[in-house]
Structure 1
């Protein structure tokens, strides 16, 4: 388990091991999830990063537009 300290300016540094494990990059946006007994950080990814995450054939058929 890694720890970090909150500075007087309310800033913190994520330990190098954590940054490397989650492949975090400078400028990456993290969402804060506030729970009753903890705070969780969730790295946000652009929607384009999700393209292709569902495996299998695309058998979606679109209905024809009505006139």
Structure 2
């Protein structure tokens, strides 16, 4: 676990190992929220990068049921 210090401007530096493990690069967008007394940062990934991330999900549309 890494420890970071909050600057006078309330900024923190994400440690290099955490950035590398999470795939965070300069300019990456993050979702931030408070949860159960802690702060969580979640990288926002482009929708194209999520393609095939849910194997077995049926993405076919049944056009017959749309006509009823």
TM-score (norm 2): 0.77
Counterpart mapping for 1:31-46 below 5 A: 31-46=31-46
Structure 2 unaligned runs (5+)?
none
* Displaced runs of 4 or more, over 2 A: 54-59
> Which is further off, 51-60 or 27-36?
51-60
Structure 1 unaligned runs (5+)?
none
SS at match of 1:28: coil
**Relative to 1, partners in 2 of residues 1:38 and 1:58: Cα closer, same or farther, differing over 3 Å?**
closer
Instruction: Report the structure, 1 or 2, having the larger helix content.
Output: 2
Counterpart mapping for 1:47-62 below 5 A: 47-56=47-56, 60-62=60-62
Match of 1:20 in 2: 20
Cα distance, 1:34 vs. partner? 0.7
Root-mean-square deviation (CA), in Å? 2.1
Q: Equivalents in 2 of 1:42, 1:22: separation in Å?
A: 9
